[in-house]
Amino acid sequence: MKRIGFLVVAIFGIISVANAGGLTNGNWSPTGCGARPEPPVIDSTSVGAYNRSIAQVNDWQKQMQIYHDCVIKEANSDIAAINQAATAEQARINQASGNLNADLNQGRDKLNSSPLPASGLPVGPGMQGNPQY
């Protein structure tokens, strides 16, 4: 039991470190990438103004690429953390089901090895198999 408690604490510790994005009302968003860069306004009032706009667009594209890469990194980190936590929880569910099934089978075997109950009927088979949830 202590090992399971330690495992749960360790998993949640990993998740809190690895978890990068935030989920609000079902919408995921990155939390460590800063604000999404705002696109510049294109000024076409003159050739010089337009050329400056092109320079601003080029700078914006570089900033947007950095932001994009950060978003992907955070999303992948969250996906991995969720996958690990869900897999661990599924293993705990399956282990609990398996333990209960083993206890049922052990109890049935104990009762079946005893003299028949007053009704004369053997004890039923109990749970069969380990259902996967």
The pLDDT value recorded for residue 121 is 60
The pLDDT value recorded for residue 126 is 57
Q: Which domain holds residue 65?
A: 41-90
Residue 70 lies in a domain: yes
Residue 74 lies in a domain: yes
Residue 9 lies in a domain: no
pLDDT along the chain (133 residues), means of 10: 48 52 90 96 97 98 98 96 96 97 93 72 58 52
Residue 67 lies in a domain: yes
Global pTM reads 0.60
DSSP bridge partners of 23: 28
Residue 47 lies in a domain: yes
Give me the number of domains the chain comprises. 1
The pLDDT value recorded for residue 114 is 80
| Helix, strand or coil, per DSSP, at residue 24 | strand
Q: What is the DSSP string of 36-100?
A: PPPPPPP--SSHHHHHHHHHHHHHHHHHHHHHHHHHHHHHHHHHHHHHHHHHHHHHHHHHHHHHH
Residue 6 lies in a domain: no
The pLDDT value recorded for residue 6 is 46
**Alpha carbon distance 100, 93 (integer Å):** 11
Residue 75 lies in a domain: yes
Instruction: Look at the alpha carbons of 106, 111, 112, 114 in this order and tell me if their dihedral is positive or negative.
Output: positive
